Structure formats: structure tokens, C-alpha cells
Amino acid sequence: MWKVYKYNGHYIQGDLISKHTTESAAIKKAKKVINFCFSEKVKRNNETLIWLDDKNYIPLGVIVKKQRGNKND
């Protein structure tokens, strides 16, 4: 499950905007709501993070996918 979060003035992973089953749907929704310019995809242990930044690389939000189990991609 891909979850789109928007910066709420205190936390980057602040307000939950929406949940999606595909990465492309999550990015499409984030582009519409957050209007980011740059994104960076990072894979850690059991989660995938897509950081969303504006044109000055200031964080605007994040898209998170947590995987269950012990997957080694």
C-alpha cells in the first residue's frame, strides 16, 4: 500500500493525503495535490520512500510503502 503524506508545518510525514495500490497512482495524486518538482526514491530495509521536493529542494512530502516480511529486492 502506497501512502501519500504532505508536510504539515512540523513533520514531513505529517498529513495523510491518500492511499494507493500502485506507485504510479500515488505519484499522480501527489503531483496534483502537493505539486512537487523533484523526487528521490530510497529503499531501506522493508520500506520504500519517495521524497518530494519543490524547485529549491525544500521537502514538501513523502510517499511511503512498507512491505511485510523479509523481502530482499
Residue 73 has pLDDT above 70, yes or no: no
Within a domain: 33: yes
Within a domain: 30: yes
Within a domain: 19: yes
Q: Write out the residue range of the structural domain in which residue 16 sits.
A: 2-66
pLDDT digits (tens, 9 = 90+) for 14-67: 999 999 999 999 999 999 999 999 999 999 989 999 999 999 999 999 999 998
Rounded Cα–Cα distance for residues 11 and 34 (Å): 15
What are the angstrom distances between the C-alpha of 48 and each of 9, 14, 55? 23, 17, 23
- Sign of the CA dihedral 66, 8, 33, 18? positive
In this structure, what DSSP letter does residue 53 have?
E
DSSP 39-50: EEEEEETTEEEE
Per-residue confidence (pLDDT) for residue 54, from 0 to 100? 95
Within a domain: 73: no
| pTM summary value | 0.87
Question: In which band, very low, low, confident or very high, does the pLDDT at 69 lie, cut at 50, 70 and 90?
Answer: confident
In the chain, the number of structural domains is: 1
Within a domain: 29: yes
